[in-house]
Structure 1
Amino acid sequence: MVWSSQRALGALRAPGAWPGWLRGSGPAVLRRLRGAAVVRPGFLSAAEEETLKRELDPELRRRRYEYDHWDEAIHGFRETEKSHWSEASQAILQRVRAAAFPPALAQFPMVHVLDLHQNGYIKPHVDSIKFCGSIIAGLSLLSPSVMRLVDTQDPQEWLELLLEPGSLYILRGPARYNFSHQILRDEESFFGEHRVPRGRRISVICRSLPEGEPGPPN
């Protein structure tokens, strides 16, 4: 079955889905990552998604898609780090930070923006503790996609996240450190038996600072 927003609710109630936008290899991994891997569908309104896209597109389109990432984790991408946002976009990002991070946790002031080509993908990897702390929170724009987490010690243990446009995902603790994560390429993009066609995807990612790193000055 091909996934579409109209079919999403039916697809997501298939056996093994818990809750609707997560599915895993079994009950144990679902219990283990409960609260550590979170999807909040519909976090953005259509107007908010358009606000972010309109602000990001001019800068992104000045860049070429790259196919050689420094650690070979990403194929077919362009990216930027952004600290200055419009008032409307800044309000959206404040909602993300409030939803994902405890008030006292230091965060990067720069927001990572990753534009993945329709034929691009992100290979399994664990973000280095040198560059990212215990929480990652990302908004998904333009295209649905499937993120797969795999236990680094037991590849039979996995969790998949269905990321619709306008959704927010949050990875914390064990989902951040003990599982690799990837975005499936188009030909592999299924959520269970349901096809999730991949198009161009933009993710807007906020991150906590590595432990021991000072926060930005007030």
Structure 2
Amino acid sequence: MLTFSILKKCKYKASVYKLYKNLSVDVSQSRVRPAAEKLSGDTSYIEILPSWAPNEEADLRTIILHHMHILPNFVSEEEEAALLAEVEPQLKKMRYEYDHWDNAIEGYRETERGKWNNQNEAVLSRVKEMAFAPKAELLPYVHVLDLAAGGHIKPHVDAVRFCGDTIAGLCLASSAVMRLTHEKKPHVALDALLERRCLYIMSGVARYDFSHAVLGGEHSVWRGDRLPRRRRVAIICREQPKAEHRQ
């Protein structure tokens, strides 16, 4: 949902990656898809919007599928229940907010956790192994975002000052639709179904050149079917920002 990865102070727009001119480019050199070599993800959970013509930006269409991964059923029902049980006590002490500092989110609660019980730590270790390069430095705290049934996240690009190349999130409690829209060509867009208990991984072009939003209300539609208005929780692991961006 679900990182979806909403980060504090996330209105900083930067394009670190240039779009590739042809498919002969070795995208593995860009460190943008460490999970692709382990598990390719299920592209049936990604739908190119009709505004993006099939004969337009064909190379970019291929690249975005390397940089946006949906891994369905990454956690079991039991693992989902255990993760939610650990964060619920803290979340219940908080109110849903409707006045985010930059108006990017409506109806949310959020917190961070540095320590987890053994069962949940094992799940998060599996996330990190799947989503990040072996020697990647991760932020020490895991971000927990709780989006109310009537909440949504507006289009934004996460700030490079607060997060590195890769963001990986578990979508819990219910499913959500994430929309990715090219920053310079708004008609170049796609929807991703973040199905309940999936892992989604964003990197490279998806991370830097496309804004992402979590749709709400009447806009939360996947292939003609409107998703139920339910609470959604994302548990998000993030890479350390690069040294040149930490100032």
> Do these two structures clear the TM 0.5 threshold for a shared fold by scoring above it?
yes
Q: How does 1:147-186 map to 2 (within 5 A)?
A: 147-186=178-217
Aligned to 1:23: 47
1:65 aligns with 96
Provide the C-alpha distance between the structure 2 equivalents of 1:135 and 1:56, rounded to a whole number of angstroms.
Answer: 23
Q: Distance in 1 between matches of 2:218 and 2:151?
A: 11
Which structure features the higher share of strand residues?
A: 1
What amino acid does structure 2 have at the position aligned with 1:92? Answer: V
**CA displacement 1:84-128 (0-9 Å, x = unmatched):** 110001000000000100011111010000000000000000011
Q: TM-score, normalised by structure 1?
A: 0.87
Q: TM-score, normalised by structure 2?
A: 0.77
For 1:23 and 1:35, how far apart are their aligned partners in 2? 14
TM alignment of 1:77-116, pairs within 5 A: 77-116=108-147
- 1:142 aligns to what? 173
Cα deviations across residues 153-172 of structure 1 (Å, max 9, x unaligned)? 00011121101110000000
Question: Which deviations, in whole Å up to 9, do the C-alpha atoms of 1:66-90 show, x marking residues without a partner?
Answer: 1111221111000001101100010
- 1:212 paired with 2:243, answer yes
Equivalent position SS for 2:129:
helix
Q: Secondary structure at the match of 1:147?
A: strand
Listed as ranges, the gaps of 5+ residues in structure 1 are 1-17, 214-218
- Unaligned 5+ residue runs, structure 2? 1-41
Q: Whole-Å Cα distance in 2 between the matches of residues 196 and 119 of structure 1? A: 12
Identity of aligned residues (%): 45
CA RMSD in angstroms comes to: 1.5
Residue in 2 aligned with 1:47? 78
Distance 1:207 1:177 in 2: 14
- In structure 1, distance between residues paired with 2:187 and 2:164: 26
CA distance in 1, matches of 2:101, 2:129: 31
Give the alignment of 1:192-211 within 5 angstroms.
192-211=223-242
- Equivalent residue letter for 1:22: I
Corresponding letter in the other structure for 2:97: E
